[in-house]
Amino acid sequence: MYTVDLSGRNGIVFGVANRRSIAWAIADKLNQAGARMLFSYQGERLLGTLETLTSGFIDPVLVECDVTEDSQLDHVFDVARQEMGSLDFVVHSIAFAPKETFLEPFSNVSREDWKQTMDVSAYSLVAIGRRARELMNEGGSIITLTFLAAQRVVPGYNMMGIAKAALEASARFLAFELGPRGIRVNAISAGPLRTVAARSIPGFGTTASRASSVAMLRRNIQQQEVGGLALALISDELGGGITGETIYVDAGYHAMGMILNPDEEG
Ligand code: NAP
């Protein structure tokens, strides 16, 4: 039987809030492959959940970090250096936009809301990539999570679409700069998944049900399907030639042109 072997590999996972988090599905696959992980969580309230989720993992390390604080990011990477010595991968699965940005017309977005959304959701990848490169002595893989609204208008997604466009471009520029060091940087564009972050987007339920009816596979994806691609992108054996890429795990939704109502199909 073929298995992906990541034993002896170390990485950091940002963005596990609970069992539904995309980062959790990724961490679950990486754990099964034998990798050791440091989990960064925002806020004390998440510690108990993370302790429960990661019990049984290989020597998990848990470190609190708000990614908008440089000193807290420094601390995460200092702990990673002390505990693990070097890094092989980083998973960046973080986003935030103030609720008003989803409710108000896009053209009303305030300067403050623009800055905060870009800071948490896009700049954080660059801040993390810069620190990760110093610990990736033998190459590595950095993964971020994005959404179709980076490329096309998804009504209501508004400011988060702008941040995802910046995130995807940032991943490409990082991939170019870090490529000579053997560090690969890729974005996974996931279809709608019911998570805490998704629930804060008004109309998410309608988006998810519409996507499932018109996607090529006529269904929505599952968290584990994103985890599977992340595992492949982190494994040098499977994903070693892939960098600077945005890969869709969305049951084919992104490639549809004219979208018919289900009862109009010929
Ligand atoms: P999630 O479980 O709510 O994960 C989002 C994570 O971001 C949470 O752990 C959250 O922590 C963290 N976060 C927010 N602001 C932070 C900050 N300042 N510092 C540190 N962490 C912060 O939701 P998810 O759906 O898995 O989201 C993960 C990624 O997938 C996001 O980039 C999202 O845009 C992307 N994505 C999601 C979907 C979807 O349909 N769910 C589709 C495509 C892409 P707190 O809980 O403490 O705020």
Q: Judge if the beta carbon of residue 246 lies within 6 A of ligand 1.
A: no
Based on the residue annotation, tell me whether 164 is a catalytic residue of this protein: yes
CB 122 within 8 A of CB 145: no
Amino acid at 114: W
Tell me the domain boundaries of the chain: 10-251
The one catalytic residue in 29, 41, 123, 157 is 157
Q: Judge if the beta carbon of residue 47 lies within 6 A of ligand 1.
A: no
pLDDT in tens, the chain (266 residues): 889 999 999 999 999 999 999 999 999 999 999 999 999 999 888 899 999 999 999 999 999 999 999 999 999 999 999 999 999 999 999 999 999 999 999 999 999 999 999 999 999 999 999 999 999 999 999 999 999 999 999 999 999 999 999 999 999 999 999 999 999 999 999 999 999 999 888 889 988 998 999 999 999 999 999 999 999 999 999 999 999 999 999 999 999 987 766 566 55
Instruction: Say how far apart CA 90 and CA 88 lie, in whole Å.
Output: 7
Q: Is the pTM of this model over 0.85?
A: yes
CB 175 within 8 A of CB 243: yes
Centre of ligand 1 to C-alpha 83, Å, is 25
Q: Which among 162, 173, 185, 50 is positioned nearest to 106, based on CA atoms?
A: 162
Q: In a mutational test of the pocket of ligand 1, which residue from 69, 94, 148 has the highest number of ligand atoms less than 8 Å from its CB?
A: 94
The yes or no reply on domain 10-251 and CATH 3.40.50.720 is: yes
